[in-house]
């Protein structure tokens, strides 16, 4: 019997465009570099960008997985996976955005659960809406990484998100301040941010990680943390991302390991 040992991590935010997708890819690169087998699940169902960013042909998506599961045609998880590199696989978001509404959230839960049996790390990229799908994902995953930028609207939304989490007694999250997305935005000091959020900022990705030609990487399907010398060029931020990655690996899971039956 196989043990379920994978760590699922949802990358979430209070606002769109804060750098979730780029961060997800970079974190996947970090995990690959330490020999972990990673699945990126693109659960931004109607506008997912992971498959564009990995630039690989793909056939099956989460829609096919759910549809087959629903119709008793599901056999292997692997049938729905696109291979990106040695240690990084991707489960793509639907090819047609209209398929998004046909995906029942209960199957999303099943898909995450299955992925945790086959991978060391399951990274879930999604959009920032607090819709049914995302609520199911946030409830199902073991870890959540909230990403925010130094932006008033972002801060306001993050504050609301945190109060919802406090109401639900959920504290399986960490907060990342992403200064690489818009390096010129520095309105609030770190002190202000913590004060407004009434929470600690766990990690900061600095403005030094702002990549001017990032679109080239995206169009070429390249992950920045997997580039030659990324560890030395982006030394400080690479170290932060490595710390995020290893801190999560070191966390005790709330639930006991389950056995696949």
Ligand X SMILES: Nc1ncnc2c1ncn2[C@@H]1O[C@H](COP(=O)(O)OP(=O)(O)OP(=O)(O)O)[C@@H](O)[C@H]1O
Greatest extent of the chain over all pairs of C-alpha atoms, in Å: 54
Per rule CB under 6 A, is residue 10 in the interface with ligand X? no
Q: Are 210 and 15 in contact (CB under 8 A)?
A: no
* Pairing state between β 173-178 and 203-205: parallel
Minimum CB distance to ligand X smaller for 188 or for 210? 210
Per rule CB under 6 A, is residue 21 in the interface with ligand X? yes
19 binds, among Mg ion, ligand X, none (CB under 5 to 8 A by kind): ligand X
Per rule CB under 6 A, is residue 22 in the interface with ligand X? yes
22 binds, among ligand X, Mg ion, none (CB under 5 to 8 A by kind): ligand X
Instruction: For the CB of residue 63, give the shortest distance to Mg ion in the complex, in Å.
Output: 18
Residue linked to tokens 């750098």: 19
CA distance 12 to 15: 9
Instruction: For the CB of residue 117, give the shortest distance to ligand X in the complex, in Å.
Output: 27
209 binds, among ligand X, Mg ion, none (CB under 5 to 8 A by kind): ligand X
Q: Are 21 and 12 in contact (CB under 8 A)?
A: no
Number of H helices, E strands in the chain: 10, 8
Return all residues near 47 (Cβ < 8 A) that are at least 6 apart: 93, 97, 127
Residue linked to tokens 């639907």: 94
Among the listed ranges 99-107, 158-166, 188-196, 203-211, the one in contact with ligand X (CB under 6 A) is 203-211
Binding mask 10-49 for Mg ion (x = CB under 5 A): ----------xx----------------------------
Q: How far is CA 237 from CA 110, 126, 192, in A?
A: 34, 23, 22
Give the DSSP H or E segment for 143: strand 143-148
Residue linked to tokens 């007694």: 169
180 binds, among ligand X, Mg ion, none (CB under 5 to 8 A by kind): ligand X
Per rule CB under 6 A, is residue 180 in the interface with ligand X? yes
210 binds, among Mg ion, ligand X, none (CB under 5 to 8 A by kind): ligand X
Residue of 28, 26, 20, 41 whose CA lies nearest to 116: 41
Among the listed ranges 20-28, 67-75, 130-138, 192-200, the one in contact with ligand X (CB under 6 A) is 20-28
Of residues 36, 114, 128, 142, which one binds ligand X by CB under 6 A? 128
Note the residues at the interface with Mg ion (CB under 5 A).
20-21
Note the residues at the interface with ligand X (CB under 6 A).
13, 16-22, 44, 49, 127-128, 180-181, 209-211, 214
């Amino acid at each position: 019997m196989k043990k379920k040992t994978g760590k699922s991590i949802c990358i979430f935010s209070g606002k769109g465009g804060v750098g979730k997708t780029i961060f997800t890819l970079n974190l996947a690169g970090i995990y690959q570099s330490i020999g972990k087998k990673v699945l990126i699940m693109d659960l931004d169902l109607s506008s997912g960008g992971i498959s564009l960013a990995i630039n690989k042909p793909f056939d099956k998506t989460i829609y096919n997985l759910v549809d087959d599961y629903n119709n008793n045609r599901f056999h292997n998880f692997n049938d729905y996976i696109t291979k990106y590199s040695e240690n990084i696989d991707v489960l793509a978001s639907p090819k047609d955005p209209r398929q998004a509404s046909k995906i029942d959230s209960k199957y999303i839960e099943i898909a995450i659960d299955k992925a945790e049996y086959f991978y060391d790390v399951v990274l879930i990229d999604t959009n920032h809406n607090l819709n049914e799908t995302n609520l199911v994902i946030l409830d199902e995953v073991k870890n959540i990484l909230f990403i925010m930028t130094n932006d008033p609207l972002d801060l306001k939304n993050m504050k609301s998100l945190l109060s919802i989490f406090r109401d639900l007694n959920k504290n399986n999250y960490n907060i990342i301040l992403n200064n690489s997305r818009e390096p010129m935005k520095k309105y609030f000091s770190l002190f202000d941010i913590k004060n407004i959020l009434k929470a600690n900022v766990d990690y900061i990705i600095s403005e030094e990680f702002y990549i001017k030609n990032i679109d080239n990487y995206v169009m070429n399907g390249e992950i920045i943390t997997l580039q030659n010398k990324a560890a030395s060029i982006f030394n400080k931020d690479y170290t932060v991302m490595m710390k995020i990655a290893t801190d999560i690996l070191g966390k005790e899971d709330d639930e006991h390991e389950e056995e696949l039956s």
